[in-house]
Each structure stands twice: as structure tokens, then as C-alpha cells.
Amino acid sequence: MNVLTIPGLKELQKQTKGASEITVAILDGVVDTDHPCFNGADLTRLPTLVQHQATAGQMSTHGTHIASLIFAQPNSDIQGIAPQCRGLLVPVFADDNRKLSQLDLARAIEQAAENGAKVINISGGALTDMGEAEDWLIRAVEMCNERNILLVAAAGHDGCECLQVPAALPAVLAVGAVDARGHPLDFSNWGETYQSQGILAPGENILGAKPGGGTVQLSGTSFAAPIVAGVAALLLSLQVQRGETPNPHAVREAILKSALPCQYADSENEPKCLAGVLNISGAIKQLGTSKK
């Protein structure tokens, strides 16, 4: 699936393809910035414990694909959602599958915030019983909330009524995944906290870049999250274009309040819909209304 086919996105991109004042941080695997789709993109890699260059490994593929969904430039094989926004690449997942601690994730969040991020995308997390997290991760998320920075995080792919952090922490925008028909995918988590702070976005066979050149289609809540992060960046860019102060809190609220019901008819499966499906045109209207 090409992300530009998502309803409402082309219309939003006619108004803005992103503002350079809006910085989006990608906390993920190493990104292959030599991929042709990034030619002309404003990307900065921050130094972290993950110091290797991009490889053909799983996490470099993960990170490169996710970054391309937001930052791929208009004249390439892949077209990103917010190609004119500034990108911060914060490698946290290594190709040797070294486990990411909540402390290191908290440090990466703080690093992104210190470098001007307005939106932070985290396509990963730790499965928990009740959405509990270690103190340093809680503090990092609270700091983002206090500074009006939007954290967008994948809901997880365990296929259960369960939660993962940071997606389940207060003020985070959790993202689950739907197929092309708008049905929640079987693997997409639907824990109770997500019912009020979770949104569904396309997450099946999403077309993106792979290290070394070329494209790949991948599925998961990991690939739904950057779609929402990219749309949030465009909505913030729209605020800049209007002469307003960009307000991530208002953008998060607009995305949640405008969500559409998903395509489940029976009440048994209703929790899998979270707060609903991403509604780009509705979010634009909601954002305009909340401004008044």
C-alpha cells in the first residue's frame, strides 16, 4: 500500500508537505540515509549507543522503512507523508537484536526533546500487564507532556487485550493497525487504555524503503505509527502556515476526537477498534474548530 492513497492525505498535502520548523524524531533502527528516497531530505542522526551504519539486518530495515514513510522525497519511488519537515534519526534498535532497556529509551526520548522534536515516533515497546513502566521512562514521557511534545507509539502486535509501553502511558498517542478495508488486524493489541488514547491506521503491506535501495512492503503496528506521526507533523505544519503556534496537544486531541468507527458490526470485537480509525479530513476540521 502506498501511503499517499490514505483518504484525505493528498488533500492535506495540497495545503502543506511539511514545515521546516516542525521536527519529527524517529527512535528506531539505523536508517540508510543514502537511499535515493532521502535525497534532499533534512535529516540529522543523533549519536546514541547504537553506532553502526545501516545494514541489510532486521532493525535497519525497520528503521529505514519507517523513516521513509515520513521523509521520502516527492520525486522518488516512495513518497513520504511530511517530506519538508525536519527529521531527527535516533538509533535505539541494533541489528544484533540487543534488547533496548527502558532507561535507554528514556534517554533517547530526552535527547530528541532537547534537539527540538515536536513529534516523536516510537515503533516498539515492552509488553506489560497493566501498562506499568519504569520510573525513568515515566519521567521522560511526563517531560514530553509538559513541553507539549507529541509521543506517537505502536500499540504492539501480540494480538491480545494487552498493553505495551510507552504506548499505554498517559498523553501518548497509541497506534494500532487496520487492513485496506478498515478492519483491525488480528495482531493489533487492544488493551483498555488504548480505548481512549489509541487510533487505528493502515498497517498491512505498507510500501517503504529498504537499506541499499529499493522498496519493501511490511505489516505491523510499527508501520501504522509513523503514518499517524507524519499526519500529526502535517497538522502542526498547517498551524505554522496559518501563523499559529504549533500545538501538539491540540493535534493529538483533534486526531482522537475525529476518529471514525471501524468496520466491525458486532460488539464483541468493538474494543479492537480503539478510539476509531484515522480520519485526516476530520482532524483538519477539528483542529480548525478547536482554534476558535
177-198 residue pLDDT tens: 999 988 999 999 999 999 999 9
Which residues are identified as catalytic? Answer: 28, 62, 222
Q: What is the mean pLDDT of residues 147-159?
A: 97
Over 70: is that where the pLDDT of 227 sits? yes
**103: which residues sit within 8 A by CB, 6+ positions away?**
134, 136, 137
Q: What is the mean pLDDT of residues 283-287?
A: 96
More confident residue, 261 or 151: 151
pLDDT, residue 82, reads 99
Over 60: is that where the pLDDT of 148 sits? yes
267 band by pLDDT with thresholds 50, 70 and 90: low
More confident residue, 49 or 38: 38
Over 80: is that where the pLDDT of 289 sits? no
> Taking Cα atoms as reference points, which of 276, 246, 243 lies closest to residue 262?
276
Output the CA torsion sign for 158, 136, 152, 43.
Answer: negative
Over 80: is that where the pLDDT of 268 sits? no
> Taking Cα atoms as reference points, which of 144, 95, 112 lies closest to residue 44?
112
Over 70: is that where the pLDDT of 57 sits? yes
pLDDT, residue 290, reads 62
pLDDT, residue 129, reads 83
Note the CATH number of domain 3-291.
3.40.50.200
Domain range list for the chain: 3-291
pTM for the full predicted model: 0.96
pLDDT, residue 270, reads 80
Enumerate long-range contacts of 32-35, CB under 8 Å, 24 or more apart: 32/60, 32/64, 32/209, 32/210, 32/211, 32/212, 33/89, 35/64, 35/68, 35/209, 35/210, 35/211, 35/212, 35/213
CA distance 191 to 195: 7
Q: What is the mean pLDDT of residues 257-283?
A: 86
134 band by pLDDT with thresholds 50, 70 and 90: very high
More confident residue, 264 or 211: 211
Quick one: which H or E segment has residue 59? Answer: helix 58-71
pLDDT, residue 123, reads 98
Contact 103, 92 (CB under 8 A): no
Average pLDDT for the chain: 95
Q: What is the mean pLDDT of residues 134-160?
A: 97
Q: What is the mean pLDDT of residues 42-62?
A: 94
16 band by pLDDT with thresholds 50, 70 and 90: very high
Pure H helices in 76-210: 102-114, 135-146, 194-197
Contact 118, 85 (CB under 8 A): no
pLDDT-above-70 percentage for the chain: 97
